[in-house]
Amino acid sequence: MINNTYILPIGSTEYHGELLPTNTDTVIAEKIARGIKKKMQDAIILPAIQLGLSSEHIYMPGTITFSVTEFINEIEKSLIDIPENSIVVVINGHGGNKHIINMLSAEYNYKHDNKKMFAPVLFTNKVKKTAVKLLGDFDSHAGSFESSLLAYYGLIDETLRENDYYVRKMPDALRFFRMDQLSSLGVLKSTNKLVADKQYGERLHNLIVDEVVDSINITRAQINSVLSDRTVNYSLYRMENNTYIKDCLVVVYCASPSEMKNDGLTNNQISMFIKTPKDISKINSIADLTKTKLFVDEKQVLLRVASECLFGIFGDSHCDCESQRIACLESINNYGQGIYIQLPQEGQGRGLHYKARELQLQVNGFDQFGHNVGKKSIYEAADLLLGTDDVDIRHFSVLKKIFRDLGLEKENFVLLSSNPKKISDLSTQTGIEIESASDVEHNINIENVSEYLAKIYKKNCEFMQD
């Protein structure tokens, strides 16, 4: 849930005619931020970013601009210490910053589960219409609109007169922005008259603040609604007559970027196949599933947590992942209740690209440059490719959330695995109760026996099959 609000004012340092200061955009952004703070006392105002993207004004005296890279870096520095459960509200006083800020906000929101960022529109249609009513026009740069705001802030004199000191044509490059001519006052409109009315400025300032506060409250409510809805990242498919598990429920969870990074997920799609003795014909949504008691208490629930293995699915004889998958699904079906979870942890979390290089060493004895270095075990290959034989970077903490969201965290599980480390890690990282473990039927042959021997040596796996 979003509990904290941080306000980041961003402006610019650029020519604003002969009568307004070069930091006009920054002043307006900071004053609006302080206005928001008065209405949202729990909000925290961050230090303002004084420079923006002002290349369109670079030919004007007093203009200093960031490059795009510098601007992005400055914003990212401001966000480093933002805690979880927070929203960053960017108060942008300069139109030239808008597109980069929107791009960064989208990227920031994608990367973070419980931290969000957005830039509300300051000059809404309501604000523009009010400016036209009061001032006769809405001039967005160095005109009566900004002059009246600065008059209200006490930074310029209300008494202005025509100033013929600075008259010039805009550079050709600026005509792309439809800024054909600076007026004698430096206003980006063909006018030599300027209004700076303190009372009008106060009305406009208060209207902007009210509009932004409303926008913040609406956005916070929308974000919290999404975050509180545990079903938003889940999809359900009621599968009938599966080849191995018959009728079952398929749940797909879309993991966040942070969950992918923490658990070594190589893509964000986690699949669960749920076999239940109950009638599933009326379970047609995640909400239906969470309201249903799926398993009978008299029996334990079989659980298989398997890593993705594309090569095994496509018939690689050096891997028995496919035969183990079928054996586990059939065991769950015969037993009557259980869950098969497919985690996208290809190559023990290292990815398919790594897995292909590892198998080329393990099976054929060649590195990626075609050098014959001799066949390597899975751990010798890892040592060559990674500089360490600790190849396994898989974690299972994302399952804690999934079990909790689906109401499955209190079931008594029997884990279908012979890997003591996985048994321990699942219990520790997910909080579920694993009462016991059961071995999986293995298809050991001359081509995959070396991998089994490595597992026995390195992971202390205990196979019942000779």
Looking at the annotation, which residues are catalytic? 392, 394
Cα-based distances in Å from 69 to 57, 72, 100, 110: 18, 5, 10, 20
Question: Max alpha carbon distance in the chain (Å)?
Answer: 98
Which tokens go with 283?
A: 């379970």
197/144 Cα distance (integer angstroms): 8
Token pair 């279908």 is found at 416
126/464 Cα distance (integer angstroms): 74
Burial of 459 (0-12, 13-18, 19+ CB in 10 A): middle
With CA atoms as reference, report the closest residue to 214 among 281, 295, 126: 126
Strands 115-118 and 246-254: unpaired
134/195 Cα distance (integer angstroms): 10
Which tokens go with 339?
A: 């869950």
460/212 Cα distance (integer angstroms): 60
Residue 406 near residue 289 (C-beta atoms within 8 A): yes
Residue 82: CB atoms within 10 Å: 20
Residue 4: CB atoms within 10 Å: 15
With CA atoms as reference, report the closest residue to 399 among 236, 251, 223, 237: 251
Which tokens go with 101?
A: 């800020």
With CA atoms as reference, report the closest residue to 231 among 249, 250, 248, 253: 253
